Amino acid sequence: MFSHGRHTQLLDGLVAVLQWAQDIGASKDFDLHLTVSDEAASTWSYPLSTGIMGQTSWLADLGDGVFAAVYTRREGMSPGIVVVLSEDEGRTWDLGNQVMVWDAVGQEYLGVDRQPTYPASHDNIAFGKPNAVRLPNGEIMCSWWCPQACVTHARYAHLAVE
DSSP 61-113: EEETTEEEEEEEE-SSS--EEEEEEESSTTSS--GGG-EEEEE-TT-SBSSSS
Picking from 20-34, 46-60, 66-80, 89-103, which range would have the lowest pLDDT averaged per residue? Answer: 20-34
Containing domain of residue 73, as a range?
Answer: 2-159
The total of structural domains in the chain comes to 1
Least confident range of 18-27, 117-126, 133-142: 117-126
CATH number at residue 147: 2.120.10.10
pTM of the model: 0.84
